[in-house]
Amino acid sequence: MTNTAQDPTPPDVAIDETPPRRTIGTHRVMRVNDPAGDAAKVAVLTGALPWLREFHGNVVVVKYGGHAMVDEECRRAFAEDMVFLRTCGIYPVVVHGGGPQISAMLNRLGITSEFRGGLRVTTEETIDVVRMVLTGQVSPEVVGLINEHGPLAVGLSGEDGGLFTAERTHAVVEGEPVDVGLVGDVVAVDPTPVTALIEAGHIPVVATVAPDAEGQVHNVNADTAAAALAVALGAVKLVVLTDVEGLYANWPDRDSLVEQIDATELAEILPTLDAGMIPKMAACLRAVEGGVKRATVVDGRLPHALLLEMFTTEGTGTMVVPADQEEGAAP
C-alpha cells in the first residue's frame, strides 16, 4: 500500500508535461509550469502572422531533393512542413528529383552514369531506370511520408494528363554546349492535373519525367521543372532544397553567403557559378522572370528549413527577387 504522506506524487494525480492541461476521469493532470517557454512559443506563432497572411490561399512550389530525401529526420520534417502549410491554408506543390536513388539503382544494375554541367547524361538504357525509380520508388515514398499525417498527398509525373512537354536540351561546360542524351527542358505546362488536385484538397507530388512532342520520355531536371510549374501555377514562391546553405559570393568562404540577389545580378554571374549550383540558381531566375514573386535556395540538411525560410524574419538561404524589388522586401 502506498504511503501518500511520504510519496510526493499522490496516487490519483500524475505529473505530465504533455499535453499541457487535461483531465483523466475526475482528476486534473498537473504539469511543470514554464511561462517563459510558453511565451516564446506564442511569440513565434504571432511573429509568423505577416507571412501566414502573405501566403494564405496561394501556391508555394517546393523542389524536394538532396540530403533532405535520405536523412530520416529531414524526411519526416519535410513531410510535417508540407502538412503544416496545407493546414494553414497554403497550397504546397512538391516537385521531386531522386538523384541519390537513381545513382544507387544504376550502380546496382552495373550501368555507368556521369554528370556534365550539373546534368546527368541519360541514355536510352538510363531513362528506363530513371523513370522506374522516380515514379515507382521515390514518388510513393514521398506520398507515404506525407500521408502518415492524413490522406493528403497524391503522386503524378510529368507524363500524366499532359502536365509537362519536354524538349531535348544540353548542358553548358566552360561556356560550350555539351550533349547529355535524353535530358529535356520543360517547354510547355498544362497545370490542369495539379490544380485539380489542389482544388480537391490534396498535396500534389510531381515526379520529373516528361515526354517530348513525339512521346519520347526525357529525364527532366527537377529544379527547372519546379520553376516551370511555379510559373504556370502563378505560385507566390519557389523553394529549392539543396545541400548547401545557399549561394556564396566567394566560395569556399562561408562568410560570403548571399542572403538576397536580384534577377539582373544573378543573370550576370550565373555562367560563373559552380556546375552543381547552375541548375538551381537558373531555376530561381526562371521562376522570378516568369512572375513568381520570390525564389529561394534553402539548405535541406536543416530540419524544417522550409518553415524557417517562410515564417521567420531572418529567413534562411539565398532569396532571388525581381530586379525592381527593394532589398529586404520579404516575406
State the binding site for substrate: 98-99, 120, 219
Lookup result for grid cell 545513382: 103
Beta strand 318-321 pairing with 217-220? unpaired
Cα separation, 80 vs 89, whole angstroms: 15
Which residue type is seen at 25? Answer: G
Residues 242, 244, 249, 255, CA torsion sign: positive
Cα separation, 319 vs 260, whole angstroms: 5
From the number of C-beta atoms within 10 Å of its C-beta (0-12, 13-18, 19+), residue 219 rates as: buried
Residue 209 near residue 217 (C-beta atoms within 8 A): yes
- Could you tell me the three cell numbers for 289? 522572370
Which strands, in side-by-side order, build the sheet including 260-262?
A: 153-157, 203-207, 91-96, 59-64, 237-242, 294-299, 318-321, 260-262
Q: Which residues are annotated binding-site positions?
A: 98-99, 120, 219
Cα separation, 228 vs 284, whole angstroms: 10
